[in-house]
A = this chain, B = another copy of it.
């Protein structure tokens, strides 16, 4: 999963749930400014920040061995 794609996935999930950036920011404890920048400028969040957002969206960050045969 490419990093840009990962951020796009996060954004899509948020929209899917009908949650606004402001709501997600409030619920996750991540600054609204940070979230806005992340979703637009394709930022470089820390693991903690990403996890806070993922939590609220019912998602999780995983680190897995790549599977050659798909």
Contact = CB atoms under 8 A, between A and B. Distances in A.
- Copies of this chain, tallied across the complex: 2
Contact of A64 (B3, B47, B48, B60): B60
Interface string A11-45: 00100000000000000000000000000000011
A38 to B, nearest CB: 10
Q: Which of A47, A58, A64 has the most CB of B within 10 A?
A: A47
B13 A47 contact: no
Given A59-B64, A63-B9, A65-B59, A46 B44 contact: yes
Interface of A: 1, 3, 6, 9-10, 13, 44-48, 50-51, 54, 58-66
